[in-house]
Amino acid sequence: MLKMRILYNDMRKIIRNVAICMELNDFIEHGIARGIVRYAKQQNLWKLYGYGWMFRPLKDIEYWEGDGIIARIESQEDADRFASLKVPIVDVAGAYDRKGICRVLNDDKKTGAIAGGYLKKCGFKTAAFLGAADTGWSGKRKQGFAGAYGLREKELRIFEKPLTWWEELVQSNELSAWIENLPFPLGIFACNDTAGVKFTEQCRLLNIPVPGSAAILGVDNEDILCELSWPSLSSIRLDSEKIGYEAASLLDTLFQQEKGGSYSQYEVIIPPGEISERESTRIFACDDPIVQKAVTFIRNNAQEGIQVSDVAEYAAASRRNLEKRFKHIMGKTPYEEIVHTRIEYAKNLLRRPEKTVAAVAEESGFGSLQRFHAQFKSCTGSSPGKFRKIILGR
């Protein structure tokens, strides 16, 4: 009797046909899709439609007779088109707001604030922003960035063009002219990694050293793109898989509302992750040349097992003089900065599941696994293994 009841209940469950309207061309879209697929598998009765051979075929969305849509809406025209459909829709881009479209988005204002706080800690008192004009997510990142610097948006140095300007070669001359008029040194926040890479390319053509004259920070942490950049690009990680999972969960909630009616509008905000630091920001700008050289040397070489004596030699100062000046500017000792830099380097390595904790300890410059465990827990409050489980969700 129990088996029959379970079978009957399963038969009553409704199969949901869900469209994923993304091209899956980049790292962010892959992460969002992973989150959606993970949720769909848990439901067991979701059928996913999308572009390309990986999903059930999806052609003209306006004539698609399904139950719901998860979309990355990135044009005014698409926003209008999706808003006219009579099915629940969850947007995961946040570029354009439309009545009736629910959204699950990265916390873009917080992302900008993280960028501003980070570049200020790098010692840059002057800042500039590369953005996508008239798009919600870029505008919020700009707002958070300006706020972290204590500036109004109009006080920022800004280069903004319509979405995907970084793909158009015609914009290079305009970008070059803008770069040539910047008051170096300064910190640059790019609204995404592609804009950041475009900036580094133009700086190389103009013989402007990065990070020597400008430290550049992007968003999305598209690892291959960031590593191919010259120099490699530091970037803020976004939790795209969680965005996808929560978008699917929200769509499931919308299914409970009356089909064809007026769907309630919801917005879910997902906090961004940490910064993956690479060469483009491994510099410290300050008025003391000895401290500047010392901090920059540490941030570029801490994982090589350097000691405070190596830092003093590079900065051409006695150890006592270095430590006194360093403490005055940084509020900590050179040794504490070395440990902090190694910990941040180790955090990035721990995100790679193929790396053993022992390998992470060695590659981060700690010398021994025991020292790594002790210093990591002292700085973060958790062991390396526990930290890895939390960030990987395992």
Cα 81–Cα 85–Cα 91 angle in degrees, nearest 5: 70
CA–CA separation, 211 and 232 (whole Å): 10
Which of 15-19, 102-106, 258-262, 275-279 tops mean pLDDT? 102-106
Q: What is the pTM of this model?
A: 0.87
> Does residue 233 sit in the same domain as residue 134?
yes
In a domain, 217, yes or no: yes
In a domain, 80, yes or no: yes
In a domain, 265, yes or no: yes
Q: Which of 221, 256, 281 is the last residue of a domain?
A: 281
Question: Which positions ≥6 away from 158 have C-beta within 8 Å?
Answer: 128, 129, 130, 131, 142
> Does residue 155 sit in the same domain as residue 64?
no
Give kind and range of the element (H or E) at residue 102: strand 102-106
Alpha helical stretches, state H, 65-192 = 76-83, 108-121, 136-148, 172-180
Give kind and range of the element (H or E) at residue 69: strand 68-71
> Does residue 100 sit in the same domain as residue 80?
yes
> Does residue 265 sit in the same domain as residue 353?
no
Name the least confident of 4-8, 48-52, 173-177. Answer: 4-8
CATH number for the domain harbouring residue 49: 3.40.50.2300
In a domain, 58, yes or no: yes
Which conformational region is residue 104 in: left (phi greater than 0), alpha (psi within -120 to 50 degrees), or beta? beta
List the domain range (segments joined by +) for residue 73.
2-105+240-270
CA–CA separation, 24 and 360 (whole Å): 31
In a domain, 394, yes or no: no
> Does residue 224 sit in the same domain as residue 253?
no
> Does residue 92 sit in the same domain as residue 137?
no
Q: Quick: pLDDT tens for 221-250.
A: 999 999 999 999 999 999 999 999 999 999
In a domain, 247, yes or no: yes
> Above 70 in pLDDT, residue 205?
yes
Question: Which positions ≥6 away from 324 have C-beta within 8 Å?
Answer: none
Which one-letter amino acid corresponds to residue 133? A
What's the burial of 205, exposed, middle or buried (CB within 10 Å: 0-12/13-18/19+)? Answer: exposed
The two structure tokens encoding residue 284? 């410290």
> Above 60 in pLDDT, residue 252?
yes
> Does residue 232 sit in the same domain as residue 253?
no
> Above 70 in pLDDT, residue 366?
yes
CB 46 within 8 A of CB 66: no
In a domain, 294, yes or no: yes
> Above 60 in pLDDT, residue 309?
yes
Q: Quick: pLDDT tens for 41-64.
A: 998 789 999 886 666 667 778 788
Distances (CA, A) of 374 to 8, 339, 351, 353, 377: 56, 11, 19, 21, 5
Greater confidence (371 vs 8) lies with: 371
CATH number for the domain harbouring residue 293: 1.10.10.60
- CA nearest 272: which of 357, 360, 145? 145
> Does residue 101 sit in the same domain as residue 114?
no
Residue with tokens 């706020």: 147
> Does residue 101 sit in the same domain as residue 112?
no
Question: How do beta strands 267-270 and 102-106 pair?
Answer: parallel
> Does residue 247 sit in the same domain as residue 224?
no
> Does residue 112 sit in the same domain as residue 234?
yes
> Does residue 128 sit in the same domain as residue 215?
yes
The domain tally of the chain equals 3
In a domain, 257, yes or no: yes
